[in-house]
Homo-oligomer: A and B are copies of this chain.
Amino acid sequence: MKRNVFSFPSKCNYDKRRIIHSIKVGIALVLVSLLYLLDPLFKQVGENTMWAIMTVVVVFEFFAGATLSKGINRGIGTVTGGGLGCLAAILADKIGGRIGNAIVVASSVFIFGAAATYARLVPRIKRRYDYGAMIFILTFNLVVVGGVRAEKVMELAGKRLSTIGMGFAVCIFISLLVFPIWASDDLHYSIASKFDKLASSIEGCLEDYFKMASEKENKTDANLEACKSVLHSKSNDESLANFAKWEPWHGKFGLSYPWEMYLEIGEILRELAATTIAFKGCLQSPKQLSPMQRRQMNEPCEILGLTLVWIMRELGESIEKMNKCRAKNLMIPKLQSLNLQLNLMHLSSKIQVEHDDNLAISSFIFLLREIVGKVEVL
């Protein structure tokens, strides 16, 4: 019964991508180690190769967008941290004197360290520039403290920057060009598959209800799990959207693709999942209808449920394939007749409970339809 229309990020496929990612990291590491292993290259960069290795290890992430974002953050952090560090080191040098120098260095370390740490705790900065701020603190400290000894800060900073650039280039090259793993694809399919998950859990739920009590133990839990996974997908979706924004034009996604829209749809789907869970709670509540009554209302409920499920699947598919929902014209009258049906049922008192939840669901679907319409237009 659990069709997997959207099998893209399935277990097996995910494993394959993990292996691809691991191999890519391995290749990047070997490439960057060549800086050490080949004599002519080593003479050029010297001990600073360390920074290239470090960059690859730290920056190379699973998703292409995450790698880009971390790399750019690292670049910005290194440049600004290094620049300010140089200034502070020169200032400390001007003031002169062993002790005066040390005081200037220590106080600048304290001030910039504390300020940047505070910035890292502000949610808006944390979301996008957390890593950059950390690298800023690190570079600033290393440069300003090292400047006391080395006296050739500028040269050192330049060399480090160039090796970091090399590491970054290797990362970007391998991450974006060799079997890239896009966060945007993941986000797209995860949103589309949510429709399917909810559809099958509503379906399973209604089915269970009209079966005998003995059979329905284990399946309901599986349905609940699917709902809960939709419910708790917020932070995951948000980080995917964050990475997707960094990703360049590729495949079917243009530049400035409306990623925010995905988050909005996700939000509504989560509300729908919450409603579905509550609906299930009602169906499992101790106060139940007699089997006879159940059989009576079996048919209308089944039609209703099937329509709902069909609409959900249709919507999911249309998002997945990014075409205008072909059944849109069919859907609106169907939803209206559903609402009408529910109103009629409402009058016969006893079976009100389940249907009012369905009403809530169908009103959610109304909302959904509107937003999906928006996406399709874009």
User: Which A residues are within 8 Å of any B CB, using their own CB?
Assistant: 18-19, 21-23, 25-27, 29-30, 33-34, 36-37, 42, 49-50, 53-54, 57-58, 62, 102, 105-106, 109-111, 113-115, 117-118, 121, 134, 137-138, 141-142, 145-146, 148-149, 231-232, 234-235, 270-271, 273-275, 277-279, 281-282, 285-287, 343, 346, 349-350, 352-353, 356-357, 359-360, 363-364
Contact = CB atoms under 8 A, between A and B. Distances in A.
Contact of A57 (B34, B111, B137, B271): B137
A150 to B, nearest CB: 9
A64 to B, nearest CB: 15
B33 A109 contact: yes
A360 B277 CA distance: 11
B36 A146 contact: yes
B21 A117 contact: yes
Nearest to A122: B18
B111 A26 contact: yes
A221 to B, nearest CB: 13
A114 B19 CA distance: 8
The secondary-structure label for the interface of chain A is helix
A189 to B, nearest CB: 18
Nearest to A239: B235
A279 to B, nearest CB: 7
Contacts of A102: 37
B363 A25 contact: no
A137 B360 CA distance: 52
Contact of A148 (B37, B53, B113): B37
A110 B142 contact: no
B360 A145 contact: no
B275 A29 contact: no
A109 B352 contact: no
Nearest to A150: B47
A175 B209 CA distance: 54
B363 A121 contact: no
A149 to B, nearest CB: 7
**9 closest Cβ pairs, A-B complex:** A278-B278, A26-B114, A349-B349, A274-B274, A22-B118, A26-B110, A22-B114, A29-B113, A25-B117
A232 B231 CA distance: 8
A110 B141 contact: no
Contact of A359 (B49, B109, B285, B356): B285
Nearest to A149: B36
A352 to B, nearest CB: 5
A113 B349 contact: no
Contacts of A149: 36, 42
B53 A21 contact: no
Nearest to A27: B110
Given A278-B275, A352-B349, A138 B26 contact: no
Given A29-B109, A37-B106, A137-B57, A23 B114 contact: yes
A18 B364 CA distance: 40
A134 B286 CA distance: 51
Contacts of A235: 232, 235
A343 B146 CA distance: 76
